[in-house]
Chains A and B, each alone.
Chain A
Amino acid sequence: QVQLQESGPGPVKPSQTLSLTCTVSGGSISSGSYYWSWIRQPAGKGLEWIGHIFSSGSTNYNPSLKSRVTISADTSKNQFSLDLTSVTAADTAVYYCARTAVGTLDYWGQGTLVTVSS
């Protein structure tokens, strides 16, 4: 059973960089079959896809966030990470990591709330 767990340093101040890590167990992120994704959800609102990384290291980002987003992977630790620069209050949300199989998000982490506040 694949499991994903988000982790991060907690609150972030405006203009700083939000950094999160997703640790995957029960499967290897090096497997050529899957993409590994980040999605976020502001409180009481819908889901926004941030981007994903493939086992080859290729990435694809939401154009609305592309200038501020980097997704990377550490295969030795079976982890992938999200960096979002120059954050504002609008980036406050629950951030989820998920496995993507042929476009569908079939396994999700429990989510982590990131608050941007001074």
Chain B
Amino acid sequence: EIVMTQSPATLSVSPGERATLSCRASQSVSRNLAWYQQKPGQAPRLLIYDASTRATGIPARFSGSGSGTEFTLTISSLQSEDFAVYYCQQYNNWSPVTFGGGTKVEIK
């Protein structure tokens, strides 16, 4: 099983500031990496796939980078609606598909 590790667990950021979230894979997942946003009481929403491609309707302030075992999600200027939990997910190995433990982005 590929273990996905996200850091930090909690990130305190002021509105308008930049947020940088990290995700590390225990072995290479190539660029088969997605990012999701989850708000309380809601299902996760796909933000980024193939490590750096924004999903339909996702604002340009969200960007993804990385390959192999190291990945980053950057939110360039945090808006109030961006405070949420973010998960990474690898789909290079489907047995099983695995998620990171999440990073909570909270208001500073």
A residues engaging B (CB < 8 A)?
A: 46-49, 51, 60-64, 96, 98, 102-106, 108-111
23 contacts between A and B (CB under 8 A): A46-B87, A47-B87, A60-B94, A62-B96, A62-B97, A63-B1, A63-B95, A102-B91, A103-B32, A103-B34, A103-B94, A104-B34, A104-B49, A105-B34, A105-B36, A105-B44, A105-B46, A105-B89, A106-B49, A106-B55, A108-B43, A108-B45, A109-B43
Q: Does B98 contact A (CB under 8 A)?
A: yes
CB of A5 to closest CB in B, whole Å: 11
Q: C-beta contact mask, B63-93 vs A, less than 8 Å → 1, else 0?
A: 0000000000000000000000001010110
Question: Are B43 and A110 in contact (CB-based, < 8 A)?
Answer: yes
B residues engaging A (CB < 8 A)?
A: 1, 32, 34, 36, 42-46, 49, 55, 87, 89, 91-92, 94-102
Question: Are A46 and B101 in contact (CB-based, < 8 A)?
Answer: yes
| CA gap between A109 and B95 in the complex, in Å | 23
Most buried by B among A47, A98, A106: A47
| CA gap between A90 and B97 in the complex, in Å | 20
| CA gap between A49 and B2 in the complex, in Å | 13
Closest A residue to B55 by beta carbon equals A106
Q: Report chain A residues within 8 Å CB of B101.
A: 46
Most buried by A among B43, B87, B94, B101: B43
Question: Are A106 and B46 in contact (CB-based, < 8 A)?
Answer: yes
Contacts A105-B36, A109-B43 given; 4 further ones with Cβ under 8 A?
A103-B49, A103-B92, A103-B94, A103-B97
| CA gap between A106 and B89 in the complex, in Å | 12
Q: Report chain A residues within 8 Å CB of B92.
A: 103
B97's partner among A49, A106, A110 (CB-CB below 8 A) is: A49
CB of A40 to closest CB in B, whole Å: 11
| CA gap between A46 and B87 in the complex, in Å | 8
| CA gap between A109 and B43 in the complex, in Å | 7
Q: Report chain B residues within 8 Å CB of A49.
A: 96-99
